[in-house]
Structure formats: C-alpha cells, structure tokens
Structure 1
Amino acid sequence: MTTAKALSDSPIPRRTKVLPGRTGRLRAKAPSGPPGRRRRERGALPLLLGPSVVLIAVFVIAPACYSVYLGLTNTQLTGFAARDPQFVGLENFRNLLGSEDFLASLGRTGEFVFWSAIIGQTVLGMLAALLLRKKWLRGKGVFGTLILMPMVVPEVVASLTWASVLSSDEGGSFNRLLAVFGSGAAAPLQDHPMASVIIINVWRGIAFAMIMFQAALEDVPDELIESARMDGASALQIFRHITLPLIRGPVFLYLLLTTITTVGVFGLVYFLTQGGPGQGTELTSIYIFQHAFQYSQIGLGSAASVILLVLLTILGATYARLAKVEV
C-alpha cells in the first residue's frame, strides 16, 4: 500500500508508462510523438528516398545485373552469336581465370593503382594539403591553382598533350628540354611506358587528394597540435600520432574513391599508348575494351568486368573495415 501510494503521488509526466524492469526496478518508457506526425513521416520517407532508389536501380544495379547475364552467354557483336546468343554458364569466367593475358592485365592494373593512386596521389596530395595549412607559406592561391589546373583539363586533351610532350621526335618538348642540358633524344613512352602513365596519372589526381585532405585537416583542433608542440613533439610525431588518427576515416574514404576511379582509367592510357608497346600498359580496362568491341566478344568482356567488380567490392569492404567507418 505504501509503495502504491508513493507511485501515485510521484510526478510522472503524462503519456509516460511505468514498467517493471528485468531487475525488479521501475523504468519509464520514453514518450512517443503524436500518431499523426509518425504517419506523415512514414509517408514522406518513400517520397524522399524514391528518386535516388530509382536512379540507383536504373543506372547501377540494372547494368551490373545485365553484365552478369552477358558474362554467362557467348554474345558477340557480329556473327551467329549476335543474332542467337547461347547460355554458356561459367565458361567465360573459366577461360579468363586461365588466361595469362587477363591475369597479367590484372597485375598491371594493380601496379598502376598502387603507384599512381595509393602512393603517388595520396602522398603528394597530403603534402600539398599540409603545406596550404602553413602560415609561413606565401602565394597559397597560386600554389593551389597550379595543383588544381590538371584536374580541369579533360582526360583526352591531357593524354594527347602529354603524348606530344613525350614524343620521341627531337621536336618534342621533353627532348627539347634534354637538348638544353646537352642530352640526346629520349622516348619515355616507348622505353618506360608504365612509369610514364603512372607519373601522368599522379599529375592529374593530386588536386582531388589535396581537396579531400585539406577539408579533413580543417577538423583537426589546433589546440592539440599546439599542446603537442609545447611538449616537445616533432612535426613528424604530431602528424603520425595526432593528425593521421583523427583523419583516418577521410583518408580511407579517399583511398576507396581513388582506387575505384583509377581502376576504371581508360582514355588516359589508351590515347597515350593504346596498351603498348606490346602489352606493357594493357590494363584490365583496355583488355575489356579490346575483347568486347574490337574482337566483338561481348560475353567475354562482360565476364571480365564482373571479375573486376568483385575484386573492387572486396577491396572496398577492406578499406571500410580498416577505416572503422560505415560506408
């Protein structure tokens, strides 16, 4: 009786129910909103998410599913298989995984992504972002503009321009520069094709890395850096133990984005070397283009793209797990 009277006299808010907890204690149930408001929110949710879901379904999910279907057939652009494609199951995938040319193209793609995106663009973009935060740096606007300019140039224009600069002719800009220092003519695209395309792709991608890292560095409190500096920490120690852990999420998000875009690079390499000399720069994207459109093997090219998509999905999940963020 005393407990019941105490509960009846206690100032319990309206719409609040007192329920017994698992340990015998009394716990309060949080008040919920009006039923009409909840119904309006549930009705607005499909209207807000509907357009994005439709766009993703039409332009992402449907093409991916259709690529999987084509990879299971012998579809071609010409011949009898173009009019009446047959279902061949996993034959295209078995042929690709047993093909030395395809596996070699995957290896070259991995080399290209590692040196140009993960190492080159990430490191140089981070250095550029850190320099722009320095108060002693003069001409930050000019410095930032020079880095952003390659991002504005279209991919085809950039590749044709660099093909002219690195031409093996004596009239090429690179050979003219070598002649000033008394050196003979060189042919970088023929002698060192992979290194050349890696350097050019790094040149184009530094701007995007700088923008993302600069935005991430703005969230690092200056008080932490000043405190660490007063405690005697060096610039490298501050970056390693304070700055880098605080921007870990944006860094891995950038690595995910730049890996996806670099794997899909086609025009830059194709207009520079067309996958040559020999197969020195034949990336998987060029391999897919050649077999799907030049050799008319749509089914085989689609199967190769599906394998590449699976590898990218595994790599993206690894990035998200390392970053410990939800993507």
Structure 2
Amino acid sequence: MTTAGATGRAARAARKPRTARTARTAQKDRTPRTPRTRREGRARWALPFFLGPSVLLIAVFVIAPAGYGLYLALTNTQLTGFAARDPQFVGLDNFRTLLGSGDFLSSLGRTGQFVFWSAIVGQTVLGMLAALLLRQKWLRGKGVFGALVLLPMVVPEVVASLTWASVLSSDEDGTFNRLLALFGGGAAAPLQDSPMTSIVIINVWRGIAFAMIMFQAALEGVPDELIEAARMDGARAHQVFRHITLPLIRGPVFLYLLLTTITTVGVFGLVYFLTQGGPGHQTELASVYIFQRAFQYSQIGLGSAASVILLVLLTILGVTYARLAKVEV
C-alpha cells in the first residue's frame, strides 16, 4: 500500500510540470495578436524581401568579380600564348614580381601624388570654399554660380578628356595658346611640359562639384545660433570655421575624403585619353599600369595581382579615415 501510494504521488508529480507547460502554451495560443505584433511579423518577412535583390546584385557584381580577380592573381593567366589555353597556379609569384618592380612602385607613388593634390587638397579646399560662398547672404547669383560649378560633373569623362586635349593642344590653334597669344606669350605644350600638373587641375575641375554638394549639405546641419554666439564673442570668420564649423562637420568631411580617394585612385579614362601615361611614364598611374599589363601586354594574372594590392591599400586607407572620423566600421 505504501509502495502504491508513493508510485501515485510520483506519477502526479511527473504530470504536474507537463500540465503547467501545456497550460502556458494554451494561454499563449489564446493571447490575441495585437496590431504591433502583426506589424513586427510582416517586417520580419519584408526585410529579406527588400534586401534580397540588393544582396544578390552585390554578390554577383562585386563579391564574385573580386573573388575571381583574386583567383586570377594567383595564376599566370594571359590573353595570348600557352598560358591563355592552360593557365597554371603560381601562388604569390605575381605579387613578388610586382613588389620588386620599380615601375609598379613608381606608379603607386604617382597615384598617391595625384590623389593628394587633386582630391585631398584641390577638390576638398575648393569644394569647401564654394559651399561656404553659397551660404553667404551677400552673394548674388547663387543659382548661376552653383550651375557653373556643377557643369563639369555632368560632362562625360571621355568628352571632358577630348575637350581638354583640344584646349591644351601644343598647336597654335589650341585654346590655351590663343589666350597666351592675346597677352603676347608664345606657344606652350602643358600636356608635354607639365603633364602631372595638367591632369591634377583637370581632375580638380571635374570633382569640385561633388565636394561642394557634400559640404553644403553638411553645413546645413550647423546651428546658426552657435555661429552668431561666437561672432558676438568677437571670434573672426576663420576662428568660427576652425573651432565650431569644422568640428561639427568632421564626419561628413572624412566621409568625402574616403569617397574621393577611392574614385580618384580609380581614375583611368581622363588620364589615358589625355596622356596615355606619358610622356616618359610621368603620368602612368596605377590604373594605367594595370590596364597596360592586363590588356596591352596580355598579362591578366599580373594585372589582377596589381589590382589586389591596390584594393588592400585602399582598404587600409578607408579604415584609417573611418577611425579618424570616429565612425564605427
């Protein structure tokens, strides 16, 4: 009898938690779904629906080509010859060749020089000045001024290159030489005498519009009350800009520097149509070097390896910009 009673109590004790869980589940099922719950459920389904196409496009057109480029960088693939029919895996040989090549290292140096003067200095400074001018109440004809600055942005790169090639032509009929003749000067050949300076100026002319748009949008977020208070305290214009305006737009400024650095490193058509990397390799940037090795000399593997090295350098520079801007990566 005692044994039977103990067995009964044990059975009831074992059934009790199960009964409690069943009751909680039934209570949960009977709980009505509120509109907020339904919205959250639809949002969980909508997120992959809307992000799916973007993720697919990025995977197909960004990640897959980058992976294939890395694979080519590890092979001796060529457009012609035996390596075109049967490419072999060569490991890091292409990277060793490039890092030991004076031509490639010189092209990286010229690219850094081009980016620094045309993007970091020229476009940033002039774009900021243009944005600050547009905020001045005394400036008349802001629409015309903004349109003139934006005009180079809408001109295709090839058209701009051919136009500037005509303007800076060494012939006497060139626009630049005609202007010099009006002031009694002789004929000049800027693309031959100062090729790097010429492409820097042209790239600044093309990129100043994007800088002005980004900085103007950033300046709109600066409270006018802070600027007025600083002026009432006797701060000059440059002091207001340095101690109030610039710290408040620090994030957008570094974001612009990141974007313009990436786009300027990838500039190819402008330089190639104007100088083709010459004269004497003076304007042979990394983009031109990669094009020549990959397509003119048919060394696809070597050109892909150069692209991978350039991508690594850009990644390091981008992380540095983000850290300086105190932006989480």
1:116 to 111, 115, 118: 118
Residue type at the aligned position of 2:304: S
Q: Deviations over 1:236-274 (max 9, x none)?
A: 000001000111111011001000000000000000000
Residue type at the aligned position of 1:59: F
Alignment match, 2:259: 257
Structure 1 residues 34 and 163: alpha-carbon distance in aligned structure 2, compared to 1, 3 A threshold: closer
What does 1:161-176 correspond to in 2, within 5 Å?
A: 161-176=163-178
Alignment match, 2:325: 323
Alignment match, 2:52: 50
Distance 1:195 1:132 in 2: 28
Residue type at the aligned position of 2:136: K
Alignment match, 2:199: 197
Distance 2:101 2:200 in 1: 25
Alignment match, 2:232: 230
What does 1:232-251 correspond to in 2, within 5 Å?
A: 232-251=234-253
Distance 1:300 1:118 in 2: 29
In our comparison, the structure showing a higher alpha carbon Rg is 2
Alignment match, 2:108: 106
Distance 2:244 2:292 in 1: 47
Alignment match, 1:125: 127
Residue type at the aligned position of 1:303: A
Aligned alpha-carbon RMSD (Å) = 1.3
Alignment match, 2:183: 181
SS in 1 for 2:78: coil
SS in 2 for 1:326: coil
Alignment match, 1:291: 293
Q: Which moved more, 1:60-69 or 1:36-45?
A: 36-45
Distance 2:137 2:39 in 1: 51
Number of equivalent positions: 296
Distance 2:88 2:287 in 1: 25
TM-superposed CA distance for 1:35, in Å, is 5.9
SS in 1 for 2:136: coil
TM-superposed CA distance for 1:55, in Å, is 1.0
More helix by share: 2
TM-superposed CA distance for 1:39, in Å, is 3.9
What does 1:23-102 correspond to in 2, within 5 Å?
A: 37-102=39-104
1:280 to 256, 278, 282: 282
Structure 2 unpaired stretches of 5+: 1-33
Alignment TM-score, normalising by the size of structure 2: 0.88
TM-superposed CA distance for 1:326, in Å, is 3.3
State the identity %. 85
Alignment match, 1:136: 138
Distance 1:37 1:140 in 2: 46
Distance 2:184 2:50 in 1: 66
TM-superposed CA distance for 1:36, in Å, is 5.3
TM-superposed CA distance for 1:37, in Å, is 5.0
Q: Deviations over 1:215-236 (max 9, x none)?
A: 1100101010000000000000
1:310 to 309, 312, 315: 312
Q: Deviations over 1:127-185 (max 9, x none)?
A: 00000000000111111111111111110111111111111111111111111111111
Distance 1:224 1:217 in 2: 13
Alignment match, 2:152: 150
Structure 1 unpaired stretches of 5+: 1-31
Alignment match, 1:11: none
Residue type at the aligned position of 1:44: A
Q: Deviations over 1:197-226 (max 9, x none)?
A: 000000000000000000110010101000
Distance 2:74 2:145 in 1: 51
Distance 2:203 2:45 in 1: 47
Residue type at the aligned position of 2:192: Q
Structure 1 residues 40 and 159: alpha-carbon distance in aligned structure 2, compared to 1, 3 A threshold: same
Residue type at the aligned position of 2:92: L
Residue type at the aligned position of 1:283: L
TM-superposed CA distance for 1:52, in Å, is 1.2
